[in-house]
Each structure stands twice: as structure tokens, then as C-alpha cells.
Amino acid sequence: EYYSIVDDSLIEEVKTVGHITPGIISRMSAYFKIAEDCGADLIFNQCSSVGDAADIAGKGVDIPVVRIDEAMDETAARIGHRIALIATVASTVDPSTRLLKRKIAEAGSDASVDSILVDGAMDMVMAGKVEEHNRLVKQAIDQAALDHDCIVLAQGSMTAILPYLGDVKVPVLTSPELGVKKAVSVLRASLAME
């Protein structure tokens, strides 16, 4: 069973300010505590832009917290030596880059990360111009593939581009499927310990 706690103000605030704020941390900490109090066995944070706040809020609960992009970054750290992180929302770049670098360090790798913002792509989605979004993102992926051996797409929403990547010769990783698999694995391990 799963339940969603959704607060659209979190992403709007982080996009406006450019980083997490004490208010974001406070609200997420309250949501995490509420989830735990309601009997949740695991918290799955689905927004990369507030991932740093999820790390902080996770310290206040006694259940596992999994960030949607963790498994993707762990995979990239294992297989990549020069990794391109591509994002379409500016507020995602820094927290996603920090998490990827942390996973690289945890893997004992010396991989490098180049963060690329496809400026304007998300505006295209918001304006209903999905094909233009896909064209801009595909262009960035093609360019990154020239001198990187692994590409990570920073936002789960970017999975819409996958059908267009048949000609890309390097792995292009996305977070939703890998993130859910990690959440299931962590949940199983956590419940087995009880």
C-alpha cells in the first residue's frame, strides 16, 4: 500500500529561491513525522529539487528514507568515469549534483561529473510544447554523449525522452524505475529485520 503526501508549494519555493529553505525543511520534517506516525514503513522522496531537505528530514524518523534518484546515481557511479547530469529545472542541478558526487565517493570512484541545464526546456513543457522540450533535451543528450560515458537525467519527468534515444551509444539513466526498485529492496530488508 502507498499513500501520497503532496505539497506543491515545496517545488515552487525552491524554484523561486533557488535552494531549500528552513521552511521547506520544516514542512518536510513534519510530513515525514506524520508518515511515520501513520504507520509508514518507508518514505520515498520523489522530488530531486528537495532531496537535500529529505536527507535532513530523514534524520528525524526511525524508518528508511529513499530518494528517487539514489539508485540511478549509484548505478552511474559504478559504470561511469565521465558522467553528464542533465536537468531541465535549475533548482534540481545543485542537489542532484551533490547526491551524484556523494554516490561516486561512496563507490570509491574517481568519476567526474559535468552538470548541464537545458535552459528553457521545462518552459516548453509548461507551454504545452512537449516536442520542443524533447528536441532540446535530445540535443543536450547527443552533445553530452560525445565526451561522456554515462548520462543521468536529473528529473523523473525526463523519462518522456526515452523513446527518442535509440541512437545514443552511452547509457542514459533515469530515476523512476531504479528508484522504485531500490525502495522495494530497502523496504523488504527493513521488514525482514523486524
pLDDT in tens, 54-76: 999 999 999 999 999 999 999 99
> Cell for 163?
523513446
Residue 171's Cβ-count burial label (10 Å; 0-12, 13-18, 19+) is middle
The predicted structure's pLDDT at residue 141: 97
The answer, as to whether pTM is greater than 0.85, is yes
Q: How far apart are alpha carbons 101 and 182 in whole angstroms?
A: 19
Number of residues that make up the chain: 194
Name the CA dihedral angle for 48, 49, 54, 55, rounded to a multiple of 10 degrees.
Answer: 80
